[in-house]
């Protein structure tokens, strides 16, 4: 089992996920000129980045990323789309992403599970949790058929499931405190040190919450792979 990973910039890599997934990851770095594949491997992860989901002139590989996400949804490929990745998935499948009306959401912030998360293969059992946030754009209209899974005080759409096995999360389950600190170091935030300390203090809670989610995503990939192999054998 292998996972295709789209990394939009070197500062926004797999982080915790590289350790938690337990599966081989083929990282594609289009900012270095690497070509986004026409179809993913056994699973797909699309990570975050500083560009807006509509800023194709800034990140000219984004149309290919949206095509890849759309195809993954159509084919039922297990997909985890994170922050910008979630916004690209939203746009690719007919939803709307806009500059957020409630400003920058940043730091360790609370997200709350919605009723549909109760039997979700990834988010069941999460309940109310802390997550790392760093975004100013928002998914204001989800694609048709999307199942909202998590919400928050500043922005409503924090996680949803689309199709058989695609999940979009506005927050950053992959981000370590060190990754987050690298983001604030490049910002002009007056409260960067306070935010870094806030995230560091939440580290144990972040790991306890999001590691099982990553492991559950890896299990979805394994199960689908086993099912596909049995089908081919038949």
pLDDT at 229: 63
Separation CA 42–CA 44 (nearest Å) = 7
Contact 28, 34 (CB under 8 A): yes
Q: How many domains does the chain have?
A: 1
**What is the pTM (predicted TM-score) of this model?**
0.96
Give tens-digit pLDDT for 150-166: 999 999 999 999 999 99
Q: Note down the domain range covering 27.
A: 2-233
Helix then strand then coil, in percent of the chain rounded to 5, is 35, 25, 40
In sequence order, which residues have a C-beta less than 8 Å from that of residue 119 and are 6 or more positions away? none
Mean pLDDT check: name the lowest of 9-18, 27-36, 221-230: 221-230
**Residue range 12-41: average pLDDT?**
98
Contact 47, 10 (CB under 8 A): no
Q: What CATH number did the domain enclosing 73 receive?
A: 3.40.50.880
pLDDT band at 230 (very low <50, low <70, confident <90, very high): low
């Amino acid at each position: 089992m292998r996972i295709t990973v789209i990394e939009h910039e070197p500062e926004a890599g797999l982080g915790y996920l590289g350790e938690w997934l337990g599966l081989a990851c083929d990282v594609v770095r289009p900012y270095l000129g690497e070509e986004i594949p026409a179809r993913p491997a056994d699973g797909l992860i699309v990570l975050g980045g500083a560009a807006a989901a509509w800023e194709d002139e800034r990140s000219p590989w984004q149309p290919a990323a949206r095509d890849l996400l759309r195809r993954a949804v159509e084919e039922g490929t297990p997909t985890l789309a994170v922050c910008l990745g979630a916004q690209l998935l939203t746009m690719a499948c007919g939803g709307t992403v806009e500059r957020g009306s409630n400003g920058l959401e940043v730091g360790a912030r609370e997200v709350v599970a919605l009723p549909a998360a109760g039997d979700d293969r990834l988010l069941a059992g999460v309940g109310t949790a802390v997550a790392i946030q760093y975004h100013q754009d928002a998914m204001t209209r989800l694609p048709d058929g999307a199942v909202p899974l998590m919400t928050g005080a500043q922005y409503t759409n924090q996680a949803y499931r689309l199709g058989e096995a695609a999940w979009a999360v506005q927050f950053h389950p992959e981000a370590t405190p060190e990754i987050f600190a690298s983001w604030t170091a490049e910002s002009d935030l007056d409260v960067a040190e306070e935010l870094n300390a806030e995230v560091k203090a939440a580290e144990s809670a972040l790991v306890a919450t999001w590691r099982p989610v990553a492991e559950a995503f890896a299990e979805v990939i394994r199960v689908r792979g086993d099912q596909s192999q049995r089908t081919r054998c038949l």
